[in-house]
């Protein structure tokens, strides 16, 4: 079922459907809040991931650190940020990576009012030139 908000570019709304899809992915991510789990994951990522019955594409997104892919596959940004934190990436740096802008450009954009709404409201507004 198509949802009205799927027309927002660059946005994966964490709704009930995405929550169900990402349940095991998010359980993995939130497990990293404990040091013993981070140590186990860092020692052998593949073996640690075996504890969570994720879809293969979710597992691959974790291993590749495909931050946007994690959200598209049902990851909750607050949970997936635990994985980023494990890798030494803070939330601002993560946003810079996810936008493709890099940290400095992202911070500068946010300090100057954020991204322009022009062309960023709805995908349906984009021309097919």
- Digit-by-digit pLDDT tens for the chain (129 residues) are 677 777 666 677 777 788 788 999 999 999 999 999 999 999 999 999 999 999 999 999 999 999 999 999 999 999 999 999 999 999 888 988 888 888 888 888 888 887 777 766 666 666 665
pLDDT of residue 26: 96
Where do we find the tokens 């949970």?
79
Global pTM? 0.79
Task: Tell me the CA distances in angstroms from 125 to 1, 53, 73, 118, one per residue in order.
Answer: 21, 39, 25, 10
Alpha carbon 83 to chain centroid distance? 10
pLDDT of residue 16: 77
CB 86 within 8 A of CB 30: no
Alpha-carbon distance of 92 to 95, in angstroms, equals 5
């Amino acid at each position: 079922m198509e949802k009205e908000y799927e027309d927002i570019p660059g946005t994966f709304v964490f709704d009930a459907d995405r929550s169900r899809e990402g349940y095991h992915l998010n359980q993995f991510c939130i497990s990293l809040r404990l040091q013993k789990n981070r140590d186990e994951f860092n020692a052998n990522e593949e073996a640690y991931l075996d504890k969570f019955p994720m879809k293969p594409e979710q597992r691959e997104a974790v291993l590749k650190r495909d931050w946007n892919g994690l959200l598209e596959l049902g990851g909750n940004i607050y949970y997936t940020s635990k994985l980023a934190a494990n890798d030494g990436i803070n939330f601002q740096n993560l946003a810079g990576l996810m936008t493709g802008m890099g940290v400095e450009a992202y911070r500068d954009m946010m300090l100057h009012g954020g991204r322009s709404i022009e062309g960023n409201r709805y995908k349906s507004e984009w021309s097919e030139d």
